[in-house]
Amino acid sequence: MNLNMQMKPKALGRISTKGLTQEEIQDIKFMKAAITQARKAYVLGEVPIGCVIVYEGKIIGRGYNRRNTDKTTLAHAEITAIKRAGKVIGDWRLEGCKLYVTLEPCQMCAGAIVQARIPEVIMAAENPKAGCAGSVLDILNNPGFNHQVQVKRGVLKDECAKMLKEFFVELRARNKAEKELKSSQGLDEN
Ligand SMILES: [Zn+2]
């Protein structure tokens, strides 16, 4: 295995929109845009998570996971997209916006979504170990907060889950090859 080789996500298969409503077709279109963001993370060797924020039918914020690249846990896809969208709207309140994300948001991002007053989140894959749209906690829809978020689940979830799975398979193979290379170099030196 060439260790300098870039990690490469597989292309999305054809997605049929036959018999779907206009809204469902729009959701697929914007989730595909979020997947395009996730693929940027994949290429960097980052867990592939992507996000876009849509206002009046247009994307106004994009983001992808850059946690290792930027050396900060704040570099999650949703946080970056929220920052960008706020600049475009000219307000920290993102009322009237829809947020599309390839994986169920964590506690930090779900908190930011509530704080930004985003009315609707459309998500793909669920995250049973860290998701805060109902998996571990339900931050997005907690009656105790002053804002609740409408959540739509499962849009292109198979595609997003598959991409995550392939990423971890590739990452494990890469880590194993690196380890083997290091130990063989260690033997050469002796
Ligand atoms: Zn997050």
Percent of the chain, pLDDT > 70?
A: 95
Is residue 106 assigned to a domain? Answer: yes
Is residue 175 assigned to a domain? Answer: no
**pLDDT (0 to 100) of residue 187:** 66
pLDDT at 3 over 70: no
Q: Tell me the pLDDT tens digit for each residue of 16-75.
A: 889 999 999 999 999 999 999 999 999 999 999 999 999 999 999 999 999 999 999 999
pLDDT at 119 over 70: yes
Measure 110 CA to ligand 1 centroid, in angstroms: 7
Q: What is the pTM of this model?
A: 0.93
Is residue 43 assigned to a domain? Answer: yes
DSSP string, the chain: --TTSPP-PPPPPP---TT--HHHHHHHHHHHHHHHHHHHHHHTTS---EEEEEETTEEEEEEE--HHHHT-TT--HHHHHHHHHHHHHTSS--TTEEEEEEE---HHHHHHHHHTT--EEEEEE--TTT-TBTTS-B-TT-TTSS---EEE--TTHHHHHHHHHHHHHHHHHHHHHHHHHHHHHHHHH-
Measure 70 CA to ligand 1 centroid, in angstroms: 14
Measure 185 CA to ligand 1 centroid, in angstroms: 38
Q: In the structure, what pLDDT confidence band is assigned to residue 1 with cuts at 50, 70 and 90?
A: very low
Binding residues for Zn(2+): 76, 106, 109
Q: Domain limits at 122?
A: 22-156
Quick check: is 24 catalytic? Answer: no
Is residue 172 assigned to a domain? Answer: no
Is residue 134 assigned to a domain? Answer: yes
**pLDDT (0 to 100) of residue 6:** 74
**pLDDT (0 to 100) of residue 4:** 57
Per the structure, how many domains does the chain have?
A: 1
Mean pLDDT estimate for the chain: 94
Binding residues: 76, 106, 109
Is residue 179 assigned to a domain? Answer: no
What's 60's domain CATH number?
3.40.140.10
